[in-house]
């Protein structure tokens, strides 16, 4: 079960890889000299701002550019089938499976998104296995299929993925992405299926059994998920490693949450999930309400917590201490301003019938500050300041 973004998507149950680019400057120069730069920018809007260097090619690191939508969600491109059919998906460490809309889906949400047509793929195999995904703002009902999945330069054969028949609720109708590609542990996924990341490793497509995320701040471009290794130009200092406490989500132990040296939440320790599919900092209701009071955030009629924009310049850091290391989150990060100029708290409380109501979820507010490595081989997470 998880929260996806500030819209409160909660999954109860439930195909990624790079584009080998040269340096951005030389690519632009080559296209400009051939008078093709404008056409390329229009047809490849998500790929041109990707920070690349020669070490990616030398080490086998596979990097996939992602688009930052209003600091709410990050998504990238994949294709499924032969010939390829393109989709925008969220690379989500809070769930495990891949699913996209199908031509058989009759919900309004599917009418506004790319849909997969199994009949147009010579390599697709449809399963009789039904799947049902439930969310806080709706649900998805569909079936399982198998096909070739391409993520940048990587090609996964025979990948299991879900195809929706119905998507209820309004969330997916207005989503800027088509589907979700999960990167959590296999134990969280559909039974008797192999998730995308596991197939990348099993099919010898990546040199190391790990992946990493760099999330841009404000900028639409520049975010990247990398598979099989780490590009050190995205962070400063050393990676601090934290053991995974339960191989389901990417769950770790957190020591406490403090402000000005005083513990304000997670006193005595608690558990936290590192989740790229969640926008905010989410925690137990009582703890989050205490933090809202401390920072002076007031509840609005729609349930959000509004705060003075000037507080971004006056409030101190809120520090998340993990495995003995402090990870400060400044007020400029935990206070967000919308397009109308109104500011809101980036903290939110656990809602609905969550299985684990005492868990904290460290979403994109935290991950924009800290480059994160998800090491499946050693069941650990690496954190370092993002640059």
Distance CA 242, CA 256 (A): 15
Distance CA 12, CA 121 (A): 30
Whether residue 198 contacts residue 357, with contact meaning beta carbons closer than 8 Å, is answered with no
Q: Which of 71, 255, 275, 364 is catalytic?
A: 275
Find where tokens 């904290």 sit: 360
Q: Give the H or E element holding residue 3.
A: strand 3-4
Residues 6+ apart with CB under 8 A from 278: 2, 3, 4, 5, 94, 361, 362, 363, 364
147 catalytic per annotation: no
Query: 380 is written with which tokens?
Result: 């650990």
Query: 75 is written with which tokens?
Result: 């998504």
Q: Which of 56, 92, 97, 178 is catalytic?
A: 92
Of 154, 189, 137, nearest in space to 76 by CA: 154
97 catalytic per annotation: no
Distance CA 91, CA 16 (A): 8
Residues taking part in catalysis: 92, 275
């Amino acid at each position: 079960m998880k929260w996806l973004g500030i819209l409160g998507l909660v999954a109860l149950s439930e195909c990624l890889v790079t584009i080998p680019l040269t340096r951005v400057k030389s690519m632009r120069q080559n296209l400009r000299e051939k008078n093709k730069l404008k056409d390329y920018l229009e047809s490849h809007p998500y790929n041109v701002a990707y920070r690349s260097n020669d070490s990616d090619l030398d080490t086998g690191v596979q990097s996939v550019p992602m688009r930052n939508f209003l600091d709410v969600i990050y998504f990238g491109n994949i294709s499924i089938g032969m010939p390829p059919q393109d989709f925008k998906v969220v690379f989500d460490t809070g769930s495990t499976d891949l699913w996209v809309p199908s031509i058989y889906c009759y919900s309004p949400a599917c009418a506004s998104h790319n849909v997969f047509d199994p009949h147009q793929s010579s390599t697709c195999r449809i399963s009789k296995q039904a799947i049902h995904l439930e969310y806080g703002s709706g649900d998805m009902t569909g079936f399982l299929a198998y096909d070739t999945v391409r993520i940048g330069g990587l090609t996964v054969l025979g990948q299991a993925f879900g195809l929706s028949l119905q998507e209820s609720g309004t969330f997916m109708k207005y989503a800027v992405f088509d589907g979700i590609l999960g990167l959590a542990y296999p134990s969280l996924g559909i039974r008797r299926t192999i998730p995308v990341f596991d197939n990348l490793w099993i099919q010898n497509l990546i040199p190391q059994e790990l992946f990493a995320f760099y999330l841009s701040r404000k900028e639409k471009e520049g975010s990247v998920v990398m598979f099989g290794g780490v590009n050190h130009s995205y962070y400063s200092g050393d990676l601090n490693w934290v053991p995974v406490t339960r191989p389901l989500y990417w769950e770790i132990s957190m020591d406490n949450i403090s402000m000005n040296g005083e513990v304000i939440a997670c006193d005595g320790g608690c558990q936290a999930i590192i989740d790229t599919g969640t926008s905010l900092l989410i925690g137990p209701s009582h703890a989050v309400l205490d933090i809202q009071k401390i920072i002076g955030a007031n509840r609005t009629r729609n349930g959000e917590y509004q705060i003075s924009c000037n507080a971004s310049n006056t409030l101190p850091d809120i520090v998340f201490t993990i495995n003995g290391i402090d990870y400060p989150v400044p007020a400029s990060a935990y206070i967000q301003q919308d397009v109308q100029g109104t500011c809101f708290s980036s903290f939110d409380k656990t809602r609905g019938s969550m299985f684990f109501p005492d868990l904290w979820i460290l979403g994109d507010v935290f991950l924009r500050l800290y480059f994160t490595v998800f090491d499946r081989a050693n069941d650990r997470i690496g954190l370092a300041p993002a640059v």
